[in-house]
Amino acid sequence: MVVGEVATETEVLVIGGGPGGYVAAIRAAQLGKDVTLVEKDRLGGVCLNVGCIPSKALIDAAKAYHRLAREAERGIVVEGARLDFGRLQGWKQSVVQRLTSGVEQLLKGNGVTVVKGRATFTGPNQVRVENPGGGNEVYRFKHCIVATGSRPVELPGFGFDGVRILDSSDALALDHLPLRLVVIGGGYIGLELGTAFAKLGSAVTVLELADQLLPGTDPELVQVVARRLRQLGVKVHTGVRVLGWEEEPGGEGVRVVFRPEPRGEGAAGAGARGSAGSSGSEEQAVAADAVLVSVGRRPNTDSLGLELAGVQLDERGRVRVDAQLRTSQRNIFAIGDIVPGPMLAHKASREGIVAAEVIAGLPAAADYVAVPAPVFTDPEIATVGLSEAEARQQGYDPVVGRFPYAANGRALTLGERDGFVKVVADRETGVVLGAGIVGPEASDLIAELALAVEMGATLQDLALTIHAHPTLSEAVMEAAEAGLGHAIHVLGKR
């Protein structure tokens, strides 16, 4: 610290105001701590401002717009429907504003001091905050929770310019609908946004390096989404490497160049390699007005001065933490996207609560047994716990119960028949190990199965729980019954 520089004292300093940081700040304040939260940009972080919330608003609006063309079969004829993209973006932003304003009020109501600026560690108990106006303030803390989130990975040769080459935030902020959109990366961000733009009218092409879309997800679930993408007219190339891009003659758009990536024999999976016409090793090109690059995210741990605080990172730039989310410097905690584990807002929020409670002396610890992972594709995918393959790898003898949406009365009344519920349990004990759902409202239905995994419920527990009729949740009960060998509404093996 510079001689003569006065430091502001605070009991708990939280760096980052996203779903992990603001939740941690509120919980610490509830537990009687003096809390200061430092946020360099907007409260709510990526999730509320340029991620989870605006993307789901766009996805739902696209779903409603696209569905208009399908309503005729149910006797609803809509003529003259048109898309006002500017108005859609305005509505989306109003949703974001409502939520971020709510976060601000919650922090204020819980007595959290909010400071605007960029925080940098200058030691294990101190940070310097550079204010937007250029001034500096010093804060000394007893405990610190670092929740600085992540940012998109930039693909070499595809530097983000916000016009032609977009990251997910750029795509959500467009003031016009691109006629042709190339999505590089077939993970959850690329498929969610790609599907939404396809429903709004863009011609979409997806390029994915892996041999299946949504790498790491149960191929059985992914197949349903891959089939729907084809129905939407989305062209999918898996097992391909993107080489670069060039401007089209006349400068109207760009051409993205790619080629099939050599693989070993038998490497094809869901959304199989070359599914949109890739062959051999010849280079191909696809034209686009905009290119969305969504090949992953990296933790925001650089430029924080963590080394000056004695905080250790792993080989991927993530902060090393123990079960209580303490770093190598025991008074500093780290949560969310900057620590190992899935980059999910709800995981960050839970970790924020854990860190705050540990600081307050409560017996809390992080538990990753039942972290639900939703993907807002069409149809939705949601998973929790172990997949069938993972259960087998861990030495279990898994029994699997499946129930199709096509046999669920509520799904048929919604005009949705694609997808199924899949429950994985230990054959010997019947304990539910995990589940996967692909179909409408999967993101909500997975909550029951997350609770089942968390509490150690059995297939019989799920099957004996009476579910309301007619609802989509009955598919969970019937999948459990199928796993027990006595499903009612599907024929079992004889």
Distance (Å, rounded) from C-alpha 417 to C-alpha 170? Answer: 34
Phi–psi pair at 61, nearest 5 degrees: -65, -40
Contact between residue 298 and residue 324 where contact means Cβ atoms under 8 Å apart: no
Q: Which tokens hold the place of 303?
A: 């430029």
**Residue 469 annotated as catalytic:** yes
Q: Which amino acid is residue 14, in one-letter code?
A: V
Choose among 330, 379, 344: nearest CA to 125. 330
Q: How far apart are CA 408 and CA 414, in angstroms?
A: 10
Rounded to the nearest 5°, which phi and psi values hold at 144?
-135, 140
Q: What is the bridge-based pairing of β-strands 180-184 and 290-293?
A: parallel
Length of the chain: 494
Cα–Cα distance for residue pair 145/326, rounded to 1 Å: 9
CA 255/CA 164 separation, integer angstroms: 11
What whole-number distance in Å separates Cα of residue 329 and Cα of residue 347?
22
Residue 145 contacts residue 13 (beta carbons within 8 Å) = yes
Phi, psi of 400 (to 5 degrees): -120, 130
Q: Is 223 exposed, middle or buried (0-12, 13-18, 19+ CB in 10 A)?
A: middle
Closest by CA position to 13, among listed 359, 307, 361, 363 = 359
Please name every residue paired with 436 in a beta bridge, in sequence order, or none if there are none.
383, 422
- The 10 Å Cβ neighbour count of residue 472 is 23
| Phi, psi of 270, deg, nearest 5 | -65, 135
Tokens of 86: 């500017």
> Which of 143, 176, 469, 486 does the annotation list as catalytic?
469
Tally of CB atoms within 10 A around 193 = 24
Which two tokens mark 189? 């961000």
Q: DSSP letters of 226-264? A: HHHHHHTT-EEEESEEEEEEEEPTTSSSEEEEEEEPP--
- Give catalytic residue positions: 469
